[in-house]
């Protein structure tokens, strides 16, 4: 479903400020009264600001709004012609479903202050999701119920005070593992088109069959793109891949967008000693010539010094 963002509450009122966004097919988006919010939240992998959409749901069995990450496909020198209007910006904004727990995990990890001596502290939810740089955290966190939060957090219910939360390493890793398992099932029946070329490349480069282990490796790399380096290493170890030689520099690293070799993995195609190039008589004479008094080439490109003006 493609929709001009000027028709939504998330945009400006003028055509000059309009953008085109590819939105998911949701029944409630046709309702102009639906309050779709644009949120600025940190990328869980880098911490840099990223754009997300928060779309309210109309499902009676699920009150949690849907979160979508916004991707920009730039198109300079192009425009859109929609509904007898010309939209100057030819870029396309594409939204993809995004699990909010990916976004929340880094800030929960930060606030618990885990150390080698302590597993960290429990805090109330409203205190856990405070970030002065990203005030939209509070809005996102307010949409999540206890059942969703308990997927990655330990919860301590203190009588007459309330619920206190702390990120759990084991729960978070199990939650990530469940996502890998679901991707493996989808990859095995070919229902993820983006995985197909990665599987074929891996089979060719590693001479390995398209089995569950291969699907796990590709699924891991897909999930790992949304993790900090710390959690990526922990998850790699959790899956038992840390000592797998396929992750060494001599092997291909899987990537959900493109599979490529690292510089150290490229083979040395030449095993013969390099032949010394023979110089002509003129080249020998130039090489033997005295270079004393000769200026380097860069001296001809130095800026001229300005003389002080006479008073």
Yes or no: domain 16-167 corresponds to CATH 2.20.25.530: yes
Residue found under tokens 């309330």? 162
Residue 6: the pLDDT is 38
Give residue limits of the domains in the chain: 16-167, 169-265
Cα–Cα dist 21/112, whole Å: 37
CB 18, CB 5: distance < 8 Å: yes
What's the token pair of residue 100?
């909010």
Check whether 212 has a pLDDT greater than 90.
no
Cα–Cα dist 39/50, whole Å: 8
Residue 27: the pLDDT is 59
CB 22, CB 92: distance < 8 Å: yes
Digit-coded pLDDT (tens) for 8-35: 434 444 455 778 888 776 655 555 556 7
Q: Poorest-confidence range of 44-53, 60-69, 98-107?
A: 60-69
Which of these, 214, 195, 194, 213, lies nearest to 205 by C-alpha position?
214
Residue 232: the pLDDT is 93
Check whether 137 has a pLDDT greater than 80.
yes
End-to-end Cα, the chain, rounded Å: 73
Q: Poorest-confidence range of 5-19, 68-82, 92-106, 110-124?
A: 5-19
Digit-coded pLDDT (tens) for 222-247: 999 999 999 999 999 999 887 766 55
Check whether 280 has a pLDDT greater than 80.
no
Question: What average pLDDT does the segment 139-150 reach?
Answer: 86
Cα–Cα dist 146/194, whole Å: 34
SS (H, E, C) 124-159: CHHHHCCCCCCCHHHHHHCCCCHHHHCCCEEEEEEC
Q: Which residue has the higher pLDDT, 116 or 308?
A: 116
- What are the phi and psi torsion angles at 288 (to 5°)? -85, -15
Q: What percent of the chain has pLDDT over 90?
A: 31
């Amino acid at each position: 479903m493609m929709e001009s963002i000027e028709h939504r509450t998330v945009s400006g009122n003028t055509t000059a400020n309009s953008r085109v966004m590819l939105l998911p097919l949701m029944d409630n988006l046709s309702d102009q009264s639906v309050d779709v919010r644009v949120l600025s939240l940190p990328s869980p992998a880098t911490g840099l600001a990223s754009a997300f959409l928060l779309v309210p749901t109309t499902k009676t069995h699920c009150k949690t709004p849907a979160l979508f990450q916004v991707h920009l496909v730039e198109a300079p020198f192009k425009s859109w012609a929609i509904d007898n209007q010309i939209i100057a910006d030819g870029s396309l904004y594409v939204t993809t479903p995004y699990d909010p727990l990916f976004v929340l995990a880094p800030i929960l990890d930060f606030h618990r202050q885990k150390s080698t001596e302590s597993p960290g502290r429990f805090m109330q939810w409203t205190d856990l999701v405070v970030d002065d740089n990203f005030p939209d955290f509070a809005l996102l966190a307010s949409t999540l119920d206890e059942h969703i939060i308990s997927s990655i957090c330990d919860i301590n219910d203190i009588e007459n005070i309330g619920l206190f939360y702390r990120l759990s390493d084991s729960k978070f890793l199990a939650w990530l593992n469940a996502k890998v398992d679901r991707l493996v099932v989808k990859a095995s029946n070919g229902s993820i088109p983006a995985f197909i070329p990665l599987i074929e490349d891996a089979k060719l480069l590693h001479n390995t069959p398209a089995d569950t282990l291969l699907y796990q490796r590709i699924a891991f790399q897909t999930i790992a793109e949304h993790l900090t380096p710390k959690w990526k290493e922990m998850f790699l170890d959790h899956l038992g891949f840390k000592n797998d030689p396929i992750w060494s520099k001599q092997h291909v690293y899987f990537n959900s967008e493109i599979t490529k070799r690292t510089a150290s993995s490229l083979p040395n195609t030449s095993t013969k000693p390099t032949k010394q190039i023979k110089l002509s008589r003129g080249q020998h004479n130039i090489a033997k010539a005295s270079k004393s008094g000769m200026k380097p080439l860069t001296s001809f490109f130095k800026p001229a010094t300005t003389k002080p003006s006479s008073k």
